[in-house]
Amino acid sequence: MSKGLDYQEMLDAGVHFGHLRKKWNPKMAPYIFMERKGIHIIDLNKTNKALLRAAEAMRKIVRSGRKILFVATKKQAKEIVSGIADSVEMPHVTERWLGGMLTNFITIRKSIKKMESFEKLLSESSNVLTKKERLMLTREKEKLNRVLGGIAHLKRLPAALFIVDISHEHIALAEAKKLNLRTFGIVDTNSDPTTVDFAIPANDDASKSVSLITHFLAGYVKQGLAERSQEQIDSGGKGSGERRSRKRGGKRKKDQAQNTKANDAAAATTTATESTETKTVEAVVATPPPAPTPPPPPAPTEEATPKAEE
């Protein structure tokens, strides 16, 4: 995969055919090899070089766990791109680009949730909805799924866009530029290659050309996904060992803390007991002795007692 596409395959697919001379964009001059019968011929050497550069960048993006949105609403490219994007589990837009699909992504997510709620209602028993309500919900769900089905699992903004015919998808390109997203695009001789980060000069009108280039890029995307899965497996094994070590260390610390707490409680109990005994002794020592009882008065004698008769 490091050598790029075979030149004979690109010639058979018509990758080298550009537009008429009167429709060309002067900024595409570095990528034009020659002119033949009023049609520009694209330099396949530069196509291969740009294709390898773009494929390597896409592999790195996917390896980091981010998504690439495939955009192709042209009739001859939509089925090809949607099938390839599904095979590599990437989001895609192949029916119609809704204005604000990136810049107003929150509203788009609300529409996706609405579509999911319709699917949930339709999956329930038939007694919940009447026949008319079921028919209306089915039509509404199909309408939303046709436009938003390709990005139903996209929970956040993608990291990059792959665009077939940047002139036709100028709204998507403008939104990506506004959000500073990376852009990859198949650029024909009637387009401006400076508007995308990774321009791939090729024929964007022939279905064979689009299929050949998109399949090549999808191969690098699969490679990035495989590398990411392997990294997760490796890091998962190391992480489980670290988790076990942390668990054992945490249990050891917990036992030590419990022992320390029990020792502290025993020491506190002993200290409290000793303090209580000390206070009792001090209270006994500090108690004054009882006052002496005075002697009883002497009993009166008969002589000292006057007689009543006298």
Q: What is the pLDDT of residues 243-286, one digit of tens each?
A: 555 656 666 666 677 766 666 666 666 665 555 655 554 554 45
State the pLDDT at residue 69. 95
Cα–Cα distance for residue pair 192/132, rounded to 1 Å: 50
Name, in order, each residue with C-beta under 8 angstroms of 259's C-beta and a sequence gap of 6 or more. Answer: none
Report yes or no on 283 lying in a domain: no
Burial of 66 (0-12, 13-18, 19+ CB in 10 A): middle
Do 87 and 115 sit in the same domain of this protein? no
Cα–Cα distance for residue pair 54/194, rounded to 1 Å: 14
Handedness of CA 208, 71, 204, 180 (dihedral sign): negative
State the pLDDT at residue 87. 92
> What digits encode the pLDDT tens for the residues 14-24?
999 999 888 89
Burial of 296 (0-12, 13-18, 19+ CB in 10 A): exposed
Q: Taking a C-beta distance cutoff of 8 angstroms, is the pair 200, 164 a contact?
A: no
Select from 208, 224, 193 the least CA-distant residue to 76: 208
Q: Which domain holds residue 134?
A: 105-156
Give the domain-ending residue among 214, 233, 252: 233
Do 67 and 152 sit in the same domain of this protein? no
CATH code, domain carrying 94:
3.40.50.10490
Report yes or no on 213 lying in a domain: yes
Structural domain count of the chain:
2
Q: Can you read off the two tokens belonging to residue 106? A: 């929150």
How many residues make up the chain in this entry?
A: 310
Do 128 and 149 sit in the same domain of this protein? yes
Burial of 46 (0-12, 13-18, 19+ CB in 10 A): middle
Report yes or no on 252 lying in a domain: no
State the pLDDT at residue 228. 92
Give the domain-ending residue among 156, 172, 188: 156
Do 75 and 146 sit in the same domain of this protein? no
> What digits encode the pLDDT tens for the residues 153-168?
898 999 999 999 999 9
> What digits encode the pLDDT tens for the residues 66-86?
999 999 999 999 999 999 999
Report yes or no on 201 lying in a domain: yes
Report yes or no on 36 lying in a domain: yes
State the pLDDT at residue 310. 30
Do 95 and 194 sit in the same domain of this protein? yes
Report yes or no on 144 lying in a domain: yes
> What digits encode the pLDDT tens for the residues 22-49?
889 999 999 998 888 889 999 999 999 9
